[in-house]
Amino acid sequence: MTPVTVRVPAKVNLQLSVGPQRDDGYHDLVTVFHAVSLFDEVTVRPADRTSVRVTGQDAASVPAGRANLAARAASALAARLHRRSKSAVHIEIRKRIPMAAGLAGGSADAAATLVACNDLWGAGLSPAELREVAAGLGSDVPFALLGGTAVGQGRGERLTAALAAGTYHWVLAFAAGGLSTPEVYATCDRLRAARGGNGTEAILSTELMAALRSGDPAAVGPQLSNDLQPAAVSLRPGLRRALDAGREFGALGAIVSGSGPTCAFLAASAGHARELAVSLTGAGVCRGAVRVRGPAAGAAVVAAEPG
């Protein structure tokens, strides 16, 4: 069996609407996922026991071994296939997606591992079957398989591809340190309770969907929305400065990505994105900024190296 390498994108949420907290503690979501061209790469090869090695961005803090979502993905796929022997793999993750950044890097690595093991083991599961295994691993994992632009419902795992035209140029501004997703949700609930509410039912923005169909970034920018943004900003007040600076530098839209703390800025063109990235970095409002394009394709095999 020759090693298999899969490339997988980060995501931003163009809309993230969070409904009231349910009795089981979860929130119903309506979200518009958008995959962008910031990729992790995952290589799997047969081994005597399952292990994970992480290199690149935040490598020292990403959990190794069983706690890594990629290792859990390999086990979940082996269980789904009733594969008892020869299911151990060495998983090598080359990270470019920062950890706990609101870009779903862990989910991306899990999705990549599912695609890689499906190929390595010649299991032949269909994309729909892989998505079922992915949904059991986490609400963002199915989208990392699909890529593109898609509406997510439920906890985000029920996906429908969105009709979106054109290519969008973004700047991702990274913050120092991550934010814990459960803590951001808890803060969102607290802020809502302090205002005497519990949030309202999450509904898909028809304005955003129409703007995406038009392919015009100037129409999309004003429709970006994130219900978790006030919570992320209250936990990291510096994000307000970054968002304001991006708007001053002409971003068509400025938003916290997912649970943060990464901020995503929509640019008018590739050239504008370049200027925006330089200006944001120069203004000292972020740890670093990268230019990316969306939509990007979902997890896909890039190489099957000779053993």
Based on CB atoms, which residue is closest to ligand ATP, 228 or 245?
A: 228
Is residue 103 involved in binding ligand ATP (CB under 6 A)? yes
Is 249 within 8 Å of 161 (Cβ atoms)?
no
Is residue 149 involved in binding ligand ATP (CB under 6 A)? no
Residues 181-200: x where in contact with ligand ATP by CB under 6 A, - otherwise, as a string: x-------------------
Q: Annotated catalytic, 11?
A: yes
At residue 105, φ and ψ (nearest 5 deg) are: -65, -40
Does 46 sit behind a cis peptide bond, omega within 30 degrees of 0 on the bond before it? no
Q: Report which secondary-structure segment, H or E, holds 105.
A: helix 105-120
Least CB distance to ligand ATP at residue 248 (A) = 27
Question: CA 182, 183, 188, 194: dihedral to nearest 10 degrees?
Answer: 130
Total residues belonging to the chain: 307
Task: Answer left, alpha or beta for residue 89, where phi above 0 means left and psi between -120 and 50 means alpha.
Answer: beta
Least CB distance to ligand ATP at residue 36 (A) = 13
Given 40, 109, 119, 140, which residue is catalytic?
140
Alpha-carbon distance 70 to 289, whole Å? Answer: 26
Strand, helix or coil for residue 223: helix
Q: Annotated catalytic, 95?
A: no
Is residue 57 involved in binding ligand ATP (CB under 6 A)? no
Residues 14-43 that bind ligand ATP (CB under 6 A): none
Residues 240-259 that bind ligand ATP (CB under 6 A): 258-259
Based on CB atoms, which residue is closest to ligand ATP, 2 or 180?
A: 180
CA-angle at 100, arms to 10 and 184, nearest 5°: 115
Based on CB atoms, which residue is closest to ligand ATP, 69 or 202?
A: 69
Alpha-carbon distance 113 to 104, whole Å? Answer: 14
Least CB distance to ligand ATP at residue 62 (A) = 5
Per CB under 6 A, residues contacting ligand ATP are 62-63, 68-70, 93, 99-107, 109, 140, 181, 258-259
